[in-house]
A and B are shown apart, each in its own frame.
Chain A
Amino acid sequence: MKRNLRLGGLRRAGRQLTVAATAMALIALAACTEDESTDDSDVLSPSNPTTLSVWITSAQQAPAPDNKISKLLKDKLGVTLTYEIVTPDNEDQKIGVMLAGGQYPDLIGTGDLKQRFLEGGALRRLDDMLETGAYPNLAAHVKDDIKKMSYSGDEVDKGLYIFPNYNRFYGDITGGTYYGPAFWIQKRVLADAGYPDLSNMTLDRYFQLISDYKAKHPQTNGAPTVGFEILASKGREWGMTNPPALLAGSPNNGGVIVDSNNNASIYADKDVAKNFYKVLNQQYSAGLVDRESFTLTFDQYTAKLATGAVLGMHDQGWNFGTATQSLQSAGKDENTYVPLMPVYDGVTPWYADRPVMNINQGFGVSVSSKQPKKALKFLDTMLSEEWQKTLSWGIAGEDYQVGADGVFSRTDEQRKNYKDITWRSHNRLDALLDMLPKHQGKFSDGNAYSPDDQPAEFYATLSDYDKNFMEKYGKKTWLDFMNKIAENPKYYPAWNIKLSDAANQVNQQVTDTSVQNLPKIIAGKPADFDKNWQAYVDSLHKIDVKVYEDAVNAGIKNRLANW
């Protein structure tokens, strides 16, 4: 009896639960339906607050909660941003999960060269919206380059989906820092060698400089001096695989060299590559190349450069900024790097290119956004000169001064803040700005887009060591150390051509084979070089490289016809 009673009680409780659950479900449903209504206004004002969710791929940190620009956005536009920031290393996995879920934030800032958001139908086609004339800044931004910026594949409708986040220039390109690929060398090496002439640089001279210095100074701050570091960490294998093309006088096209007939072919198995790795092999056995090169992760690589013990490496300027910053803040300017351009005999160097527009990378508006017009209006507003100055320079009077002649300048205190990561998280929106379309080049008042690009500011921020160093070479910027920038080929660059799955797979197989074999070739006995090289070439030829080359060539043809 007793048991039955209890069961009855349970049943009653169960029924009540069911009722409650149904009620909850109904409420939830109601809430959902309410959510379905889209917001059709494109006005951003403080009287009508808006919350926009943004998804960003960036190595930049999220802003602090009390960030002053966040506050400004709220006060002036009524916009609150909720961020999700994913580091580039984790982007691949994250994209798959988001596509499978089918729910996206209002704004998607992607760096994905495989265009998975776009082809997965996550992004809204924006051409029609821009044509309404409600977004004048964006419309002007894309007008001249709309063909380059538009999607031309077959998976979704052709058209404009993503605003490139970098290198759409207004007026002249200014700036003194070099961000491209080079064989870098520490300033102290050149200073020690009496500031030798850097023109007609060859691999032999480059390694001779390093070897002479290392013999004289085997120790750096108590640690053994490292002659040459090879960057070969996951995802950055180009540090090891790209140099042959540059040595052969070809601009950075990734895994291929494109000849004068616009015909692309891989160079990993060619003599230009063989000659380079032969030199590396000899230098390795001479003890100049770091034995730990191939096992370093990217973080370990950066840490090693930051110790100041590494005399040289092949890398791209943007890739080791952290190491340079920490060397500078430790006052070790003589351990920071200058770009050199070694080439094979009789070849004109083509290391520096015209900065390439980051097509397919940047913000798009998601299909699941309930307020697409507001999201687009936000991008448009951010692209106005007023907001661009706020995002890039800061607040006038607080972060920079406007001179009587209208030229922007900063005090030493303001320059110091600009380099301080903690200060930046409270006073700048670095992650957001990383993905936003930008007014690079010059503003209509003649000031450069950012303090780094303002010629007077660039020179003023140089340390005394650097000023003296440049004086010795009679140069004014780091860019002056590079080749004169020629006009890029029309199709350029081949590395951001969107490939089919099959071609991507072949590309990965080539990279894997290189990563597997090149260390053996470099670290092997010089006597075994030919044997090891042959083994590498044999395994390369097992791969169906033509699939990759054909895909790249098709991309080049397409660009030549349409851009």
Chain B
Amino acid sequence: MTDATVSTPVPTTGLEPAPEPASSSRAQQRKARKNAAKDPKRKITWDRVWAQRALLAMAVPLLLYQILFKYVPVYGWAIAFQHYKPGRGSIWNQQWVGLENFYNLFTGVNGERFRQVVVNTMGQSVLTLIVGTFGAIVLALLLNEVKNLPFKRILQNITYMPHFLSWVIVASLASVALSLPSSGGFINQGLMSLHLVDEPVLFLTEPNYFWEIVAGTSLWKELGWNTILYLAAITAIDPGLYEAAEVDGAGRYRKMFSITLPSIRPTIVVLLIINSGWILSTNFELPYFLGNGLVSEKSETIDVFVLRYGYQLGNYSLAVVAGIFKTIVAVILVGSANLAAKRLNQETLV
């Protein structure tokens, strides 16, 4: 991000004439930026830095924040190579054990379990991400077509609301909804009254349903919230495009597929890239609250595993090893998502 600030000054600073002709099309802007980057005259010089000092100064606090809270704490990774016991004052006053903790996590019984929790984490996250993104786009498109404003507002508010419930509550609601009819399980009640099943299904005891339950519950909670960004992107579309399409005789569906969707494509891609970094880090609450022994082979995620085998057993070193693993995988995931987007000639982050 800082890179971008340096190479393309925001025109409104008034420190320099705007380098690019004003243009409304994103594609043109991108092209201009690319050219600019190649232009030898646009090299970073001390003069330019000085000219932009106000902007750079504004970036300093953020930079400090990043360094202080994201890079400095990395020294704590040392714990991964120790037999760490808390309360000894400094983390350098510990017994060093080399790679023992790595062997412990990646081999033997723990290794088997850890491989399983990595698969579960990815499976649940990817499914949640796909279902969530798809659902949010569809809902955003549908909401955009609602022309009665009060009705649209009500719809939006209703779909947002679950976002403000905590996961504990959502998990309890889900577990009641999925339980036996005698315990208030209305899903089973519905299925039975529709004669789709003869006997109530114990959803939460069947491992193979668990990923879907997680994805479905997250969808219910976050659907409305996730549409906000897409709706915002849709409102930014030039109404002239729709008018022109109408003149050309395009109907509602044509406009949706040929104007709305392509216009929000960059938003979709950027959100997907950002979210891919969280694939190993999300999904603690639902697996923790909804999981049980019967489904743990499909429910336990990395964070739940780390909580149980790391923090609760007081084995902080193991938790740090898992943390390092997660960081490395996250960097790889974001990098490759970004690369893939670049290949597809899409908007990218870096």
Contacts and interface: CB of A to CB of B under 8 A. Distances in A.
A294 B175 CA distance: 13
Interface in A213-237: 223-224, 232, 237
A518 B294 CA distance: 8
Interface stretch (A113-121, A258-266, A470-478, A555-563): A113-121
B313 A120 contact: no
B347 interface: no
A295 interface: yes
A294 B86 contact: no
A438 to B, nearest CB: 28
Contacts of B311: 92-93, 96
Contacts of A224: 182
B88 A519 contact: no
A515 B180 CA distance: 21
Contacts of A508: 308-309, 313
Nearest to B175: A295
A116 B313 CA distance: 10
Contact of B293 (A292, A504, A519, A543): A519
Given A516-B296, A519-B294, A114 B109 contact: no
A436 B108 CA distance: 43
A509 interface: yes
B239 interface: no
Interface string B72-102: 0000000000010111110000000000000
A518 B204 CA distance: 16
B203 to A, nearest CB: 9
A523 interface: yes
Interface in A94-136: 95-96, 99-100, 102, 114, 116-117, 119-122
Contacts of A544: 108-109
Contacts, number: 95
Interface string A79-92: 00000000000001
B85 to A, nearest CB: 6
Contact of A519 (B179, B182, B205, B308): B205
B293 A294 contact: yes
A516 B293 contact: yes
B179 A292 contact: yes
B316 interface: yes
A504 B316 contact: no
A543 B294 contact: no
What size tier do the contact residues of chain B reach? 20 to 34
Contact of A504 (B86, B88, B297, B313): B313
Identify which of B83, B110, B202, B313 gathers the most chain A CB atoms within 10 Å of its CB: B313
Interface in B42-92: 83, 85-89
Given A116-B87, A501-B83, 5 more contacts: A96-B314, A100-B87, A120-B87, A292-B202, A520-B294
Contacts of A120: 85-88
B148 interface: no
Given A116-B314, A119-B85, A504-B313, A294 B109 contact: no
Nearest to B171: A297
Identify which of B89, B309, B312, B314 gathers the most chain A CB atoms within 10 Å of its CB: B314
Enumerate the 10 nearest inter-chain pairs by beta-carbon distance, A residue then B residue, closest first: A120-B87, A515-B293, A99-B86, A99-B87, A92-B312, A519-B294, A295-B204, A121-B87, A294-B294, A295-B292
A295 B294 contact: yes
Contact of A523 (B88, B110, B205): B205
14 contacts: A291-B180, A294-B294, A295-B205, A295-B292, A504-B315, A505-B313, A509-B109, A514-B293, A516-B294, A518-B293, A519-B293, A523-B205, A542-B112, A543-B109
Given A232-B293, A505-B313, A515-B296, A121 B109 contact: no
Contacts of A523: 205, 294
A102 B87 CA distance: 6
Nearest to A240: B293
A412 interface: no
Nearest to B318: A505
A223 B293 contact: no
Interface in A275-333: 291-292, 294-295
A542 B113 CA distance: 12
A92 B316 CA distance: 12
B12 interface: no
Contact of A116 (B86, B183, B293): B86
A512 interface: yes
Contacts of A237: 293
A155 interface: yes
Nearest to A502: B104
A162 B208 CA distance: 47
